[in-house]
Amino acid sequence: MKKSSFAIGVAVAALTMVAAVSGASADDTKISGRMYADFTNIDQKVDGVQTAPSGTGFDIKRLYIGIDHTFNDMFSANVTTDFQYSSAISSTEVYLKKAYVQAKFSDALVVRVGATDLPWVPYAEGIYGYRYVENTVADRTKFATSSDWGLHAAGDLGQNFSYAVAAINGNGYKNPTRSKSMDFEGRLSAKFDQLNFAIGGYTGKLGQDVPGVATPNTATRFNALAAYVGDRSRFGVEYFSANDYSAALVKDPLHEDKADGVSVFGSYRVTPIYTIFGRAEEVKPSKTLSPTKKDQYYNAGVSFAAFKGVSFSAVVKHDEVTSIGHKTTNNEVGIWTEVRY
């Protein structure tokens, strides 16, 4: 926690000093924020016995504070902090979600160095539209993450196609350590009017390829998404499959594993301020080592756009993980909110 806070302080101070030295005006620097919070009741049971974090409480799931500075038409920089408080674990943590320098050569080539959005998860979140209610399927089940440290490139290829690629450390933005090799993630997407299509992939050692540690397996992942996003409605499906996608499996000389999952989601704006939405998914997280294990999840709710930048949703969630002789259920009901400025 202390190391994270120190690193964040250094990054923010450095960006501030660079902006000052460059003689930038106030219009060149922008501050933004986003908060995900909820007030809910959770009923979690393991094999029929109620367990933590059952109960009623308020959580700030995420609080992002961003500083974005534009040096000129080509170069810019960003620092975004990620604050999380959870009453379930009585812990407050602060990380650098983003810390990068960007060079925009053209609409077809934007390069970032540092920690920033990865190609897949942020794209899928944008299509889904309800990140503040729940992570998308691969992120929710820990088969993907949203940001990492490395070299990133993205761009638009004409009016209909776009891409994003990244060479990254592999440990995620919370752990910026290096290893002997880098991981790779990419995405190719297409948009034709309201129709959106994308495929993506990942390969690497998840940051485990360090001296003295054998990494006989390589983590891989395939992603696909298809969705209709209109003015009042959106419907889509997201799929992923993964092999050896954990730090333990990458280092395991005796075992390999596979996983896959599918998510179906939709929403419909009934009035200018009210929207109904829902999502259902099924994930098989360990098809080789635990072939009977299954994760079935759904949510349904009504969102209310209170005013610009502030939304509330009344939501019911159900998550059930089963295997032979075991069942864990998590039922949650309450109010979720997103605040942007």
Mean pLDDT calculated for residue range 289-311 = 97
Mean pLDDT calculated for residue range 259-286 = 99
- If pLDDT is split at 50, 70 and 90, which confidence band does 1 have? very low
pLDDT digits (tens, 9 = 90+) for 329-341: 999 999 999 999 9
Say if residue 305's pLDDT is above 50.
yes
**pLDDT value for 332:** 99
**pLDDT value for 107:** 98
**pLDDT value for 13:** 47
The amino acid present at 123, given as its one-letter code, is Y
How far CA 226 is from CA of 62, 124, 148, 265, in Å, comes to: 27, 10, 25, 11
Please state whether the peptide bond connecting residue 53 to the residue before it is cis, i.e. omega within 30 degrees of 0.
Answer: yes
Hey, what domains does the chain have and what are their CATH numbers? 2-340 (2.40.160.10)
- If pLDDT is split at 50, 70 and 90, which confidence band does 200 have? very high
Structure tokens at 241: 């499959």
**pLDDT value for 92:** 78
Mean pLDDT calculated for residue range 99-114 = 98
Q: Residue 244 gets which letter from DSSP?
A: S
176: Cα within 13 Å, side-chain hemisphere: 18
pLDDT digits (tens, 9 = 90+) for 6-41: 455 545 544 554 555 455 566 799 999 999 999 999
- If pLDDT is split at 50, 70 and 90, which confidence band does 205 have? very high
**pLDDT value for 309:** 94
Give all strands (DSSP E) within 87-175, no chain letters.
91-106, 109-117, 147-157, 161-168
**pLDDT value for 234:** 98
The rounded distance, in Å, linking the Cα atoms of 330 and 341 is 32
Structure tokens at 300: 């349904």
How far CA 315 is from CA of 63, 81, 197, 274, in Å, comes to: 20, 27, 28, 13
Mean pLDDT calculated for residue range 295-308 = 97
> Cβ distance 339 to 305 under 8 Å?
no
Mean pLDDT calculated for residue range 65-78 = 97
Say if residue 2's pLDDT is above 50.
no
- If pLDDT is split at 50, 70 and 90, which confidence band does 108 have? very high
Name the residue among 332, 244, 281, 275 with its Cα closest to residue 124. 281
pTM confidence score: 0.92
Say if residue 299's pLDDT is above 80.
yes
30: Cα within 13 Å, side-chain hemisphere: 10
Phi-psi region of 161 (alpha: psi -120 to 50; beta: other; left: phi over 0): beta
Name the residue among 313, 299, 302, 228 with its Cα closest to residue 270. 302
DSSP per position, 25-89: -GGGEEEEEEEEEEEEEEEEEETTEEEEEEEEEEEEEEEEEEEEEE-SSSEEEEEEEEEEEETTT
The rounded distance, in Å, linking the Cα atoms of 284 and 291 is 8
**pLDDT value for 12:** 52
Mean pLDDT calculated for residue range 40-62 = 95
Mean pLDDT calculated for residue range 135-159 = 98
